[in-house]
Amino acid sequence: NAGVMQNPRHLVRRRGQEARLRCSPMKGHSHVYWYRQLPEEGLKFMVYLQKENIIDESGMPKERFSAEFPKEGPSILRIQQVVRGDSAAYFCASSPPDNEQFFGPGTRLTVL
Amino acid sequence: QKEVEQDPGPLSVPEGAIVSLNCTYSNSAFQYFMWYRQYSRKGPELLMYTYSSGNKEDGRFTAQVDKSSKYISLFIRDSQPSDSATYLCAMTRTGFQKLVFGTGTRLLVSP
């Protein structure tokens, strides 16, 4: 059983461009979480999704950030008009309902 | 004030030492407490979790929760160089949703 897959592993964008981060959960997992890790800081919760539903987006910035988890395909975290402060490692985790979260390897976003 | 406080380290110990890692927290509503290990450039992996107060042991690892003091600990016995990593505490109010993490403590175990 493959683990949580994230791609790309590294993403470089110039200020003002869009960044799309993908997360394929483990087989059988219907819950997906996104976290952001800034340098020298712990992981910060961003959003919790189930298939086709956003359950909790209390950690998402109000502007430029959006997330989806469609019926088919991976979960997508989208950052529009990136700024240098968006540079961070973005981790996706998946789980069965109310159970341990398994983390992916992360996508490291660098904004030039 | 952060919800969860954790000394960033680094904590350097010789092989075989007993390691004590700690977190304090401010929100008394937290009920589930976890410890994650994160190797450089990797995602966190769950080591242990406990519900409410008490101790839990798994091999060389022991987790302790003292809700009255809002203080949790992870002890590693007979530490190995392969234990060198960043250790993150995390906690939630209900179940395993919306984890609140500490900043992590970097542990270095020298041979």
Q: What are the tens digits of pLDDT across the range A59-81? A: 999 999 999 999 999 999 999 99
Contact A20/B at CB under 8 A? no
The per-residue pLDDT of chain A, averaged, comes to 94
Give residue-wise pLDDT tens across range A16-57.
999 999 999 999 899 999 999 987 778 999 999 999 899 999
Contacts of B101 (CB under 8 A, 6+ apart): A35, A42, A43, A44, B4, B36, B88, B89, B90
Q: How far is CA B21 from the centre of its chain?
A: 6
pLDDT value at residue A23? 98
Percent over 70 (pLDDT), chain B: 100
Contact check, Cβ <8 Å, A42/B101: yes
Give residue-wise pLDDT tens across range B48-99.
989 888 899 999 999 999 999 999 999 999 999 999 999 999 999 887 788 9
**Does the CA dihedral A80-A85-A91-A93 come out positive or negative?**
negative
How far apart (Å, rounded) are the C-alpha atoms in residues A95 and B13? 34
SS3 percent helix, strand, coil of chain A, rounded to 5, is 5, 50, 45
Contact A99/B at CB under 8 A? yes
Contact A25/B at CB under 8 A? no
Chain B environment of A33 (Cβ under 8 Å): 97-99
Q: Helical H runs in chain B? A: none
How far apart (Å, rounded) are the C-alpha atoms in residues B49 and B66? 14
> For A32, which residue in chain B has the nearest alpha carbon?
B97
Q: Which of B23, B92, B101 to mutate to test the interface with A (most CBs of A within 10 A)?
A: B101
Percent over 90 (pLDDT), chain A: 84
Min Cα distance B65 → chain A (Å) is 19
Partner A, chain B 57-96, Cβ-Cβ below 8 Å: 88, 90, 95-96
Radius of gyration of chain A from its Cα atoms, rounded to whole angstroms? 13
